[in-house]
Amino acid sequence: MESNRDLDLDPNKDDLPLRANTNHMLVRHYVLDLTVHFQRKVIGGSIVLFLEPGVVSSKQGEAGSISNTPVQNLSQVSSKHDVSSPITPEPNKVRPPEEPSHLCGGNDVSSVLWGDESEDFTLVLDCCDLTVSKVEELDVTTVDDLKKLDVDQQHANTDHPSSSLVQRVVSMPSVCWRLQHELYVQCSRSPTVHNAQPLRFHTDQWSLQIRKEGVCAPHDFPRAVRICYETKLTGGSVRWTKDQDGRCCVYTMGSPINNRALFPCQEPPVAMSTWQARVRAPCDYTVLMSGKNQAFPKPAETGFLQWEYYVTMPMPASTFTIAVGQWLEAGVKHPNFEVEKTDKPYDKEPSFSLDNDDQQYVCSHMDYPCRFMVSAARAQAVIPHRVFAPPCHLQKANDMVLPLLPLCLTAAHSVLGVHPFSRLDVLIVPSGFSSLGMASPHIVFLSQSVLTGERNLCGARLCHEIAHSWFGLAIGARDWTEEWISEGFATYLEDVFWSHVQKLGCREAEEQRWLKALLRWRRLSDELQNSEEELQVLRPNKENTGEVSESGASVVKHALNPEKPFMQVHYLKGYFLLKFLADQVGEEKFLDFFKVFVGKFHGQLILSQDFLQTLLDTFPGMSSRGITLEAIISDWLDTPEMPEWLRDACSEWLRTPVVQEVKEEVAKWIHFSGSGGKGSKRKRAGPKVNFKELSPEQLVLLLEFLLEEPMLSLSTLRLLETTYNLQAQDAEVKHRWCELAVKHKHTAAYRDVEQFLIHDQAMGVYLYGELMVQEDARQQALARRCLSIIKDDMDQSACSVVEEMIL
């Protein structure tokens, strides 16, 4: 047992608290009714929570105890200790100051100290930077359609008829989901309970806590609760910014604090819920959201349109995504805006009903309308899809993203089978987005950095984000610190899908993957040398992975570390672990296993050992070769070192033909720089060297090898630029070119460096450090000038890292 001081979460530390007491009470469904106010830069309205008591029915639970009882056959995240209840300070502890409480209700509670020894049950929600004005208990007995439902004896509660009715709704079978959603909406509009004890609430830095006086147990707590609130401009869940055409927009950008600054919620992954949302935005704006349906706007109040979305697959609240802006759809005619036509390889197929289950397929997850159970869905290689972008990028989205998308979807289906989600929107997000992409249910964000150069970077990134539909969304990590379950799998599958899209032969595909493996090995080696060891471990909680407190609360280790969003160890080391496992059984068998694993575990949360043990059970011969669960965990998951297999494999990748070809070109450039690149005669005559054409990945490796050279002549750098037309290459190539320009103080290319820092913010963070470390006044001025230009639109995490570099 750890010491009690671990219960204290210092907000200055880098762990993220998950305070929701999910073992006591679960949110089963959210109904959001929100308005986007661009002038004030707030999102305001209400959210209604439909609740169900969890597996722990005691009134509060003793801090420090552990519940191993799963919730809906799923248990959850990291720490042993209960951090959910700040009600009673520990003896001899100095608690950090909290924000002022917000208390409401019909009675006078201003003198009540929230932290007293109350016997009342407290519902704890994850919440940050929200202005909560009111919390209400809803009287769903006023809903006429709800009264018509027969209340089963198991749901009957004569003392709390409203609770019985809510329980009846949340327990409806999936075949009735349309009726269920309609009842949720009607209930969300119910009046408050007449003459009832009001709900009191309190907010601190990380949570919203709600009580009803005299209610001491979860089973007696209201089951339908409405919270009225507004977001704050300081909230980290949404980003208010401008798109590439200078027009206002707002979107969820994958914040380390997830969605708790967008709406009060239960953030632990185990709190799987469905949601409906009604969002009002100005008429010239488009609202995109995680939603099963393609929303069509309806008139709202003057100057506003209303968009409605819903999901039927229970998901963690952290996966909810919204983007509101003046986006345009690629491949669609727009008034006053012409886009040159390209041949579309795919016409959208009509959707089909999921109400008729295919009884031949049996799922293992909780009951919801699952596409895996529908034969038509299993045969659908390409799901309906759309691509959105700001006007300045609409042509590129039309020319590159829209034609690639059905090819990537088809490749993914050929490898993993049925698409877990019924449709997909892709949005080119503002330049301040800090990643190349982000996947959420039914929607993918792409950085504008993937739109330049050849299609390789864009196609590979689309494949990566599409892979998250299976690993990261349909199958999620039960412990958030095990990010490799999402990112390692998507990185591995990205190569598989992309080689399918390119229709490469076996040998050609294998060589391409060797080259990518070498590039990733170099990146991983650099990261392991320049980061803290505790950030390099794939399973930070080790043997405590998946454990939570008695209430269900926990912490996510290092989630708030400002450097963590820019680290790739979970992507790269996780990818190499899967490559190692594939090497043991053969890739074809390994991918066949993936498909079977997806069929068994979709709709569920897993830990590393769930995947690994299933693999070992499927291929028992691995254990006889010493590849056991314990050995894999020790060598790959629980230690920061580079596994021995990876060091050996790297030497093999260096000897492959595609790499040898790059080495030959490097030798030519070094020779040219040392001799042929000098002298006025040679400059006039031109270089007598024949340089081979290289693929984008080979070009990245070439520039990385040249970066290791202590000296390159300026004429060599100039010839490099013109030979490979580096300004027109993709962002990965341009990044290395900028590094070369900085290292060798190639002032003629400083304009390229500036453009990269401004327009490729997802990749340029550490280039600022290279500009500063040279201690060159002109380079340092360039770094400061670029930051001043983009600071207001820059991702906050990226901005803080850069500011630390240049100050």
Q: Exactly one of 136, 465, 487, 550 is catalytic; which is it?
A: 465
Spatial distance between the Cα atoms of 475 and 336, rounded to a whole number of angstroms: 43
Annotation says 465 is catalytic: yes
| Closest among 7, 218, 28, 75 to 548, alpha carbons compared | 75
| Closest among 570, 563, 643 to 608, alpha carbons compared | 570
Spatial distance between the Cα atoms of 500 and 112, rounded to a whole number of angstroms: 65
| Closest among 672, 643, 646, 697 to 515, alpha carbons compared | 697
Rg of the chain over all Cα atoms, to the nearest angstrom: 28
| Closest among 109, 65, 69, 141 to 210, alpha carbons compared | 109
Spatial distance between the Cα atoms of 493 and 119, rounded to a whole number of angstroms: 51
Q: What letter would DSSP give residue 94?
A: -
Q: What letter would DSSP give residue 437?
A: E
Neighbours of 592 (CB within 10 A): 14
**Rounded to the nearest 5 degrees, what angle is found at the Cα of 411, between the Cα atoms of 409 and 415?**
115
| Closest among 711, 754, 714 to 734, alpha carbons compared | 754
Mode of pairing for the β-strands spanning 25-37 and 273-282:
parallel
Helix (H) or strand (E) holding 612: helix 608-618
Residue type present at position 719: L
| Closest among 473, 449, 465 to 497, alpha carbons compared | 465
Helix axis angle for 587-601 and 402-416, nearest 10°, is 90
Is residue 331 classed exposed, middle or buried when 0-12, 13-18 and 19+ CB atoms within 10 A define those classes? middle
Mode of pairing for the β-strands spanning 286-289 and 207-212:
unpaired
Spatial distance between the Cα atoms of 759 and 767, rounded to a whole number of angstroms: 13
Spatial distance between the Cα atoms of 83 and 152, rounded to a whole number of angstroms: 37
Q: How far is CA 491 from the centre of its chain?
A: 14
Residue type present at position 131: T
Q: Who contacts 267 (Cβ-Cβ below 8 Å, separation ≥6)?
A: 18, 20, 126, 258, 259, 260, 316, 317, 318
3-class state of residue 62 by DSSP:
coil
Mode of pairing for the β-strands spanning 604-606 and 475-477:
parallel
Residue 128: phi, psi to the nearest 5? -155, 135
Spatial distance between the Cα atoms of 467 and 277, rounded to a whole number of angstroms: 26
Cα–Cα distance list, 133 to 65, 73, 370, 421 (Å):
34, 36, 38, 36
Looking up tokens 């490799």 gives 484
What is the DSSP code string of 257-309? Answer: TTTTTTS-B--STT--EEEEEEEEEETT-EEEES-SS----EE-STTEEEEEE
Catalytic residues: 465
